Amino acid sequence: MRKLYYEDIHRTDFKAAVTSCEPAETGDLYRVVLDATAFFPEEGGQSADIGTLDEQDVLDVQIENELIYHTVKEAIAVGKTVEGHVDRAQRFDFMQQHSGEHILSGIVHERFGYNNVGFHLSTREVTMDFDGVLDHTQLRDIELAANRVVWLDLPVEISYPSGEELATVSYRSKIEIDGQVRLVSIPGVDVCACCAPHVDSTGQIGLIKITGCQSYKGGVRLTILCGQRALNDYRVKLDNVSTMAQAMSVKQDQIVDAFEKLRSENQSLQESINLLQAKYLSMALSTLPAPTQSRNAVLFTDITDHVAIRNAVNELTGRYEGYCAIFFGEENNYRFILGSSREDCNEMAKKFRTSLGAKCGGNSLMIQGSVDGIKENILSFF
């Protein structure tokens, strides 16, 4: 089977003969094998190409025992010559991402000796895992170095060295490879065994951006964007920054300071609101029946400050012998905190769940949760 994507990475239209067509194991689908294909299969951490065979969508492309299977919805007769079309935009996008990953991996390996031990490239994200830790400053330096490689527009070279030649070459590889090794080389930057299509030169990548870093299995997992993906990401973030700057009436480079000021003001306002809510709640407690008139104290309020409500329940449990509960939130969808200094609140939780369908939990002194129901039914329960 000819792998046309190795003969010409830019070839996305081709004709080939069907050599087999078998039903897939799941669903009403078929797996088609051709005598030649430009579709790169899912391999080496990279998702498969997308496109069509005779205008049928190719839903998946897998390689098994050197045969490449194209999954389609309708069977195609063996022997028929089909016209294949690989989605050019996605192919080039994947080439940008994968070549950018090689540059970053090469720089990290050369500077820190870390290995790329995991790689995933799909239409949604690109992640790469290293077996060592990188901090923010190091990542900034790595990103700058990677983009300098892009600006130099270095050639991306493909070679198939013999066994003797390979023994003299220092190259990266995540797995042991049997048979012919395909090397992807960027002079002075990286040499790596790889099966995927790549750009002709580093300048075609356009831009490399590290967008995320998290701890992963003793090392780090990086999330990256290259080429058009990085540009699209920048556009979205620039639009967001512009919108926020206009809303706060500041320049874009003053957004952080404006946000910190706004957050400080908001915190002060919230503290004032909480204080007022606590005072309002204290006044509402005075409207409850006296402890001599009722064992239980039940209050409904539009106050939402949990701290104030918890403190109020604690205050009530010192005055009433039974259960003390405060319900808040929207009618038919109340939240509540209930406590008692003499009764077992866990027993009340069981009754709440059985009679009112409440969702709640806690301990013998206090429970909290939510309950759907009208005020009158809840009061009659007590």
Mean pLDDT of 185-210: 96
Report the C-alpha gap between 315 and 363 in whole angstroms: 18
Smallest CA-to-CA distance from 102 within 50, 45, 62 is with: 45
pTM of the model: 0.76
The rounded percent of the chain whose pLDDT value lies above 70 is: 99
Q: Cβ contacts of residue 173 below 8 Å, gap of 6+?
A: 181, 192, 193
pLDDT, one tens digit per residue, over 2-40 is: 999 999 999 999 999 999 999 998 879 999 999 999 999
pLDDT of residue 27: 76
Q: Give the highest mean pLDDT range of 258-267, 329-338, 373-382.
A: 258-267
Smallest CA-to-CA distance from 149 within 197, 196, 110 is with: 110
Q: Cβ contacts of residue 216 below 8 Å, gap of 6+?
A: 129
pLDDT of residue 379: 87
Using only C-alpha atoms, what is the Rg of the chain? 32
pLDDT of residue 377: 85
Smallest CA-to-CA distance from 75 within 28, 33, 34, 30 is with: 30
pLDDT of residue 226: 97
Q: Cβ contacts of residue 294 below 8 Å, gap of 6+?
A: 288, 320, 322
Residue matched to tokens 């490399």? 208
The 10 Å Cβ neighbour count of residue 26 is 6
pLDDT, one tens digit per residue, over 42-60 is: 998 899 999 999 999 999 9
Catalogue all structural domains in the chain, each as residue range(s) with its CATH number.
2-86 (2.40.30.130), 91-235 (3.30.980.10), 274-381 (3.10.310.40)
Decide: 274 and 283 in contact? Cβ < 8 Å: no
Which ranges in the chain belong to alpha helices (H)? 4-7, 88-112, 136-152, 163-166, 228-248, 255-285, 306-317, 345-351, 375-381
Report the C-alpha gap between 172 and 333 in whole angstroms: 59
Q: How confident is the model at residue 330 (pLDDT cuts 50, 70, 90)?
A: confident
Q: How confident is the model at residue 214 (pLDDT cuts 50, 70, 90)?
A: very high
